Amino acid sequence: MITLADQLLVLVLLINFISLGTSRLIFSIRAVAVQGVILGILPGLIHPFSWHLVGITTVIIAVKGFVIPLLLVRAVRSAEIKREVEPFLGYVPTLLLGAVFTALSFGFAGKLPMLPEHQNYMFVPASIATLMSGFLVLTTRRKAISQVIGYLILENGIFIFGLLLAEAMPIMVEAGALLDLLVGTFVMGIVINQISREFSSLDTSRLTSLKEE
Amino acid sequence: MLAALIILPLIGAATCWLIPFDRLRPKVLSLFSLAHFGITLRLLIVTPPESPGGWFHLDALGKIVLLSTSTLFLVCALYSIGYLFYRQERSNRALCMWLLVCLSAASLVTITHHLGLMWVALETTTISMAPLIYFNRNARSIEATWKYLLICSVGVALALIGLYFLAYATIVARVEPSLLLDDLIRDAGKLSSGWVHAAFVFLLVGFGTKMGLAPLHTWKPDAYGEAPGLVGALLSGGLVNLAFLALLRVYQLCLATKEIVFFQNALIVMGLFSMVMAAVFMARQADFKRMLAYSSVEHVGIMAVALGLGGKAIFGALFHILANGLTKGVLFLSSGNIHRSYNSKRTDQVRGVLRRLPWSGGIFLAGFIAITGSPPFAPFISEFTIISSAFMQGQMLVGAIFLLSLTVIFIGMALTVLPMVMGEVPADSEKTAYRDTFWTVGPPLALLLLMFLLGVWIPEPLMTLLRDAAALLEVPQ
């Protein structure tokens, strides 16, 4: 099972690069949805079977794979935008930065002590690399939707790390974290709608009336 | 009793959602806040024992933050009766409901000892405030809301990964995996230092963002500037303290590990940087609510420096939770009145407040004197304790930067506040329906009197509470 889990994590890393490199919003949302489904499958591969596990898997796939992406797709449709134009930093530089961060996170993870049974997995580097990729998307893109996508990738990175401690974290906290993510995205979705109504675009670089002179 | 703190405001939120009358809702809000305050006082006197499993435990640190938050909420709720009377052009359903949801989550932050649950509650307070910042429904407020939501969510997410690192450290160390504060403190010596170090960095950045420590403060001027006065009061006097409580929990943990010196130094650097940033941006600020936001950056800086100094300064930091939180209430509520009356928050248009609104103007002026640390108000005591502690410990440079920033901030703020309140009302100033009434002036005035009272005399029970709390944060010899 180790190899399968690791292969899925490689897929997660590839999806990070897809999101870093694409300008098409719907495509990016779908990629993140696939990432969410992979994250839903992962707990089943590393933990023994239990009904608790089935519950978690179902909820994660439903929320990360379907509910949140649908919310975002609807926001994109209603705002009638298709592409991220003119990000603050071009696609090639962000991709390169993403690669650098991914390499760095492997170095960082190598320095930290791990449990012997986790030694062979690449959960920690994958988690940190995903976190950094999300942060990159969040900071380099102009459109509000892209920033939310970045936030979701960042959350996914945190989630990957959370898999290592499924036993340590009682279900209540997991559920709470997931709920917060859902509500947060929902609120952001509403705000996005308001932005597009108020500015007739989703371009957050137009949000400059509060700049310090 | 502890459960009532959480559940009662939620019942209130549901009630506010169901009531169809805008006029009735602020009264319901006040009623529930009053009940919450009553329960808080009772809990301070008769403290329930730790819950089985150790998830809920109201300790001295939690008590201080709970007391300050509950008091501020009550005052803001009473103020909303008068304030929302002038804002009848839009429904206040969302405002009243989310305020009570926030109160419930805030209480949860103060009573829980489970760091994961505390994180969930803290994130809930962040989200529940977003619709309130957007109360004015215009382009500027949406920009502020977006910045607030995005930056704070990322910050709190970073804090979450910090917590995960801590939890993993317990697994690696083969101790009982747990995120309960008491378990972590007990096992702290055995945890692997690599993970713990990484965890503290993420937790400091995460909670620091939520608290608004420079350089992570960029959302603050926008959110405080655009939110209605009473929301600004709750953000700067309530939510800031909750994030500070989270940092205090991390600090408690640091005390038990070898990381405390690193954490203290980081706190001092970030705190001083916040104060300097506030001093730079405070001068010539053209918007008085943004000025108050930079004052908030300054005061979270003060609390961080005090925590970093340790020793006697801890007492100052804890007293500053109350002093800063409640004085911010005075300033934001009275500035809300001024904003209503002039329909502007630009200092070149707002002049002669003392003539137009003698009460609100006077309270605002007194609030300014209090927040800059002048006697006889409460912030003077906390700031004086911190400065003297810095010099006693031989931290001359820290003390000097601290004093210099305070002086520059005092001058910068005076240059904005004095022309505002003095002088004549401009002839072309907009005439609005706002008049000072009992409900808009009474609440901030009551807070101001409380600050005066605490400035001249700290009651014995409060003194005991502060000492107990400071004992929890003492560096073991």
Query: What is the C-alpha to C-alpha distance for residues B391 and A16, in angstroms, rounded to an integer?
Result: 51
One-letter identity of residue B101: V
If DSSP codes are grouped into helix, strand and coil, which group holds residue B112? strand
Name every chain A residue with its beta carbon within 8 A of the beta carbon of B143.
207-210
Q: Residue A99 burial by CB count (10 A; 0-12/13-18/19+): exposed, middle or buried?
A: middle
Name every chain A residue with its beta carbon within 8 A of the beta carbon of B177.
165, 167-168
Query: What is the C-alpha to C-alpha distance for residues B208 and B301, in angstroms, rounded to an integer?
Result: 10
pLDDT band at A213 (very low <50, low <70, confident <90, very high): very low
Q: Is A212 contained in some domain?
A: no
pLDDT at A186: 66
Q: Is A23 contained in some domain?
A: yes
Average pLDDT over residues B268-284: 91
pLDDT at B135: 85
Question: Closest residue of A to B133, CA-based?
Answer: A191
- The domain total for chain A is 1
Is residue A173 over pLDDT 80? Answer: no
- B116 and A209 within 8 Å at the Cβ level: the answer is no
Is residue A200 over pLDDT 70? Answer: no
Is residue A212 over pLDDT 90? Answer: no
B340 neighbors B441 (Cβ within 8 angstroms) = no
A140 neighbors A94 (Cβ within 8 angstroms) = yes
Is residue B411 over pLDDT 90? Answer: yes
Q: What is the pLDDT of residues B22-81, one digit of tens each?
A: 888 999 999 999 999 999 999 998 888 888 888 899 999 999 999 999 999 999 999 999
pLDDT at B157: 85
Query: What is the C-alpha to C-alpha distance for residues B108 and B117, in angstroms, rounded to an integer?
Result: 8
Average pLDDT over residues B354-369: 93
Query: What is the C-alpha to C-alpha distance for residues B60 and B294, in angstroms, rounded to an integer?
Result: 29
The two structure tokens encoding residue A133: 């990729």
Q: Is B477 contained in some domain?
A: no
Q: Is A209 contained in some domain?
A: no
pLDDT band at B320 (very low <50, low <70, confident <90, very high): very high
Partners of B114 in beta bridges: B180
Q: Residue B374 burial by CB count (10 A; 0-12/13-18/19+): exposed, middle or buried?
A: middle
A55 CB-near residues (< 8 Å, 6+ apart) = none
Is residue A178 over pLDDT 80? Answer: no
A44 neighbors A85 (Cβ within 8 angstroms) = no
Q: Is A211 contained in some domain?
A: no
Euclidean distance between the first and the last CA atom of chain A, given in angstroms as a whole number: 57
Query: Cα torsion at A181, A182, A183, A189 (round to 10°)?
Result: 100
Which range has the worst mean pLDDT, A45-49, A128-132, A169-173, B140-144?
Answer: A169-173
Q: Is B351 contained in some domain?
A: yes
Is residue B254 over pLDDT 70? Answer: yes
pLDDT at A175: 64
Average pLDDT over residues B212-222: 88
Best-predicted range by mean pLDDT (A70-74, B148-152, B379-383)? B379-383
- B194 and A164 within 8 Å at the Cβ level: the answer is no
Query: What is the C-alpha to C-alpha distance for residues B153 and B401, in angstroms, rounded to an integer?
Result: 32
pLDDT band at B1 (very low <50, low <70, confident <90, very high): confident
Q: Mean pLDDT in chain B? A: 90
In chain B, % of residues over pLDDT 90: 55
Q: Is B430 contained in some domain?
A: yes
- A180 and B127 within 8 Å at the Cβ level: the answer is yes
pLDDT band at A115 (very low <50, low <70, confident <90, very high): confident
In chain B, % of residues over pLDDT 70: 100
Q: Is A210 contained in some domain?
A: no
> What is the nearest CA distance from B267 to chain A, expressed in angstroms?
24
Name every chain B residue with its beta carbon within 8 A of the beta carbon of A207.
142-143, 146-147
> What is the nearest CA distance from B158 to chain A, expressed in angstroms?
8
Query: What is the C-alpha to C-alpha distance for residues A155 and A102, in angstroms, rounded to an integer?
Result: 16
B266 neighbors B358 (Cβ within 8 angstroms) = no
B70 neighbors B36 (Cβ within 8 angstroms) = yes
Give the structural domain span for A52: 2-203
pLDDT band at B325 (very low <50, low <70, confident <90, very high): very high
Name every chain B residue with its beta carbon within 8 A of the beta carbon of A172.
116-117
What length does chain B have?
Answer: 477
Is residue A198 over pLDDT 90? Answer: no
- A165 and B171 within 8 Å at the Cβ level: the answer is yes
One-letter identity of residue B61: L
Q: Is A27 contained in some domain?
A: yes
| ipTM of this complex prediction, to 2 decimal places | 0.86
The two structure tokens encoding residue B101: 């949801």
Say which of A170, A199, A212 has its CB closest to residue B281.
A212
Q: What is the pLDDT of residues B337-353, one digit of tens each?
A: 999 888 888 888 888 88
- CB within 8 Å of chain B, chain A residues 43-82: none
Q: What is the pLDDT of residues B168-181, one digit of tens each?
A: 888 888 887 778 88
Q: Is A208 contained in some domain?
A: no
Q: Is B436 contained in some domain?
A: yes
- B161 and A204 within 8 Å at the Cβ level: the answer is no
Name every chain A residue with its beta carbon within 8 A of the beta carbon of B165.
161
Q: What is the pLDDT of residues B415-474, one digit of tens each?
A: 999 989 988 888 888 888 888 889 999 999 999 999 999 999 999 999 999 999 999 888
Is residue A86 over pLDDT 70? Answer: yes
Is residue B3 over pLDDT 60? Answer: yes
- CB within 8 Å of chain B, chain A residues 147-186: 147, 151, 154-155, 157-158, 161-162, 164-165, 167-170, 172-173, 176-177, 179-180, 183-184
Give the structural domain span for B67: 2-472
- How many of the other CB atoms lie within 10 Å of CB of A186? 14
- B168 and A212 within 8 Å at the Cβ level: the answer is no
Q: What is the pLDDT of residues A24-50, one digit of tens each?
A: 888 999 999 999 999 888 887 877 777
**Between B20 and A86, whose confidence is greater?**
B20
Residue at token pair 């995120």: B179
Q: Is A55 contained in some domain?
A: yes
Q: What is the pLDDT of residues B86-124, one digit of tens each?
A: 888 888 888 999 999 999 999 999 999 988 889 889 988
pLDDT at A120: 72
- The domain total for chain B is 1
Is residue B144 over pLDDT 90? Answer: no
Closest CA to B235 of B362, B128, B392, B96: B128
Query: What is the C-alpha to C-alpha distance for residues A83 and A142, in angstroms, rounded to an integer?
Result: 11
Q: What is the pLDDT of residues B395-409, one digit of tens each?
A: 899 999 999 999 999
